[in-house]
Structure 1
């Protein structure tokens, strides 16, 4: 089950394995009926099929029966005491079952999201640096070059609206 959870997180949220193995059970948030995954800000909603898989995995995590790991908070606990699953080992296992876990595949998923959303929004939602998503967006030919992040509901300091033809 841990391979399915890791594979879906890699493919759906474009997360590198080095980040996936650092997730803890505390990064899975229940908000009423919704399940959220804290990989960026705000936490990302988890679709229903993955939500039930994720919650089932948390209840039945592997490598918890040893004397060294009884209270592990890692989403994917490793065999060594207090350590998460190793990314290189997880990558090899995912590749065996046909899940491309390389950074290039993750970048392809991010590029697809950059065609639909501005780079700063993708960066914040997925926990990427904004320069990384901007570089990837430039490679996609995305049309968000004039997007200005921030709160657009307020007027800038010192700004006075023009009259409506009174002058």
Structure 2
């Protein structure tokens, strides 16, 4: 405006963002079953996809997980996403532990001691989230749509504060999603929800 190269009034159109709707529950469970059983899918994509479909984690957070976030307590395997750590169902635990033992990008001279759950090709760096998201989409797991389905299903089954603490979500986010999904926990009593219910497990495909 100062250089008189445009008019005094300038209208900037709003950016349009198109997002795919969340997967249906049947689609989510179908994708989960395929990742657990299809050995043709690369292991890292199977594990990353299961974390999205079960625990509603964004890819940007998944690539920042380390092997130290996978906790073994006797025969129980836990995944630290929030507080408390989330229990991992047996079929998923076996897949997760196999992945840790055979992670990609660990044989280069610059990356032999990487602690990332999903090591990248660059020394000391995790897998790139944009690349992981694209690869998941190629195997039929659109990350945003899958995460939306997972978090909504969790909120239909558990109180928002419990889900927020365990999966690392903000309370305002889970409260908004509860309203959108018509969840039954909208009047859940506030208080200390640091501990998840005894025996809580994310839904498995065999439970449907």
Q: Same fold (TM over 0.5)?
A: yes
Q: C-alpha root-mean-square deviation of aligned residues, in Å?
A: 1.3
Q: TM-score, normalised by structure 1?
A: 0.86
2:53·2:147 contact (CA, 8 Å) conserved in 1? yes
Matched, 1:121 2:156: no
1:146-167 residue CA offsets vs partner (Å, 9 max, x unmatched)? 2123259xxxxxxxxxxxxxxx
Matched, 1:149 2:176: no
Paired position in structure 1 for 2:14 = none
2:100·2:117 contact (CA, 8 Å) conserved in 1? yes
Correspondences of 1:1-167 after superposition (within 5 Å): 1-102=43-144, 104-151=145-192
Residue correspondences, number: 151
1:81-100 residue CA offsets vs partner (Å, 9 max, x unmatched)? 11100011001111111112
1:107-144 residue CA offsets vs partner (Å, 9 max, x unmatched)? 22111111111111110111101111111111011122
Q: Which runs of 5+ in 2 are unaligned?
A: 1-42, 194-208
Q: TM-score, normalised by structure 2?
A: 0.70
- Secondary structure of the 1:30 match is strand
Q: Which portions of structure 1, spanning 4 or more consecutive aligned residues, are displaced by more than 2 angstroms?
A: 149-152
2:164·2:174 contact (CA, 8 Å) conserved in 1? yes
